[in-house]
């Protein structure tokens, strides 16, 4: 039971400070659509404009089916790479 509650180790080269910064950036720029816990919206049903809402960040969404480079472009452009009219103001940075 205790093992199930442990935080997984950080990938090589990633610091706790970077994770904390990423949390702040996610809460500020992503959580409004993707949810504080990454639960997302009903991304299978298009909104009236024809776009798909924000997917969850788990195996139910399609996020993990995209190559890393495409995910970086989507994050950097604030979804514009996927047809959104929103534009991003921050680029995802781990280094």
Answer whether residue 91 is part of any domain: no
Interval 49-54 mean pLDDT: 82
For 17-48, the pLDDT digits (tens) are 998 998 998 898 889 888 999 898 888 888 88
Answer whether residue 5 is part of any domain: no
Cβ(76)–Cβ(93) under 8 Å? no
Range of the domain at 22: 14-82
Q: What is the pLDDT, as a whole number, of residue 20?
A: 92
Answer whether residue 3 is part of any domain: no
Answer whether residue 70 is part of any domain: yes
pTM of the complete model? 0.64
Q: How far is CA 61 from the centre of its chain?
A: 11
Quote the number of domains for the chain: 1
Query: DSSP 3-state assignment of 3?
Result: helix
Answer whether residue 56 is part of any domain: yes
For 52-82, the pLDDT digits (tens) are 888 888 877 777 778 888 887 877 776 554 5
Answer whether residue 77 is part of any domain: yes
Q: Does residue 51 have a pLDDT over 70?
A: yes
Q: How far, in Å, CA of 56 to CA of 33, rounded? A: 9
């Amino acid at each position: 039971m205790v093992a199930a509650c442990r935080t997984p180790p950080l990938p090589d080269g990633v610091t706790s400070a970077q994770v904390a910064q990423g949390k702040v950036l996610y809460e500020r720029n992503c959580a409004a659509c993707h949810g504080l816990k990454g639960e997302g919206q009903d991304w299978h049903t298009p909104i009236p404009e024809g776009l798909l809402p924000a997917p969850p960040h788990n195996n139910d969404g399609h996020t993990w089916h995209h190559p890393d480079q495409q995910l970086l472009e989507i994050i950097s452009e604030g979804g514009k790479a996927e047809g959104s009219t929103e534009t991003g103001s921050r680029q995802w940075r781990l280094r």
